Amino acid sequence: DARVTQTPRHKVTEMGQEVTMRCQPILGHNTVFWYRQTMMQGLELLAYFRNRAPLDDSGMPKDRFSAEMPDATLATLKIQPSEPRDSAVYFCASGLSQLDTQYFGPGTRLTVL
């Protein structure tokens, strides 16, 4: 049963701390997306990669957020320094291409105090 996995599932941290979220896409999927979901804004695209190269990160606050794919089985989203307004659920999704169905992971629920 192929699934996208995300770690950690929950993270509580204090303002100013670094947060790293990890995602393992479905094996064989070459496109990876990072989304943020809040009650106010809904689901927003932060960045996406194809074949490990960033294609679009225009949705991401560049001064504190960074996204990378060190290899085909791992995508990371880092926030440094974190702020209370970053509190949200962060989803990773993967697909065979940017036009194909996106399969979402279970999310990382981040709370920044």
Partner 1 sequence: QKEVEQDPGPLSVPEGAIVSLNCTYSNSAFQYFMWYRQYSRKGPELLMYTYSSGNKEDGRFTAQVDKSSKYISLFIRDSQPSDSATYLCAMRYYGGSQGNLIFGKGTKLSVKP
Q: Which residues pair with 11 in a beta bridge?
A: 110
Q: Does residue 57 interact with partner 1 by CB under 8 A?
A: no
Residue 16 CB neighbours (<10 A): 10
State which of residues 30, 66, 87, 98 lies at the interface with partner 1 (CB under 8 A).
Answer: 98
Residues 22-41 that bind partner 1 (CB under 8 A): 33, 41
Residue 81 CB neighbours (<10 A): 15
- Identify the residue whose tokens are 């294609």: 55
Give the nearer residue to partner 1 in terms of CB position, either 95 or 112: 95
Sign, CA dihedral 41-48-94-102, equals positive
Nearest one of 45, 50, 97, 44 to 69, comparing CA atoms = 50
State which of residues 4, 88, 110, 112 lies at the interface with partner 1 (CB under 8 A).
Answer: 4
Q: Does residue 2 interact with partner 1 by CB under 8 A?
A: no
Give the nearer residue to partner 1 in terms of CB position, either 10 or 85: 10
**Binding site residues, partner 1, CB under 8 A:** 4, 33, 41-45, 48, 55-56, 91, 93, 97-99, 101-107
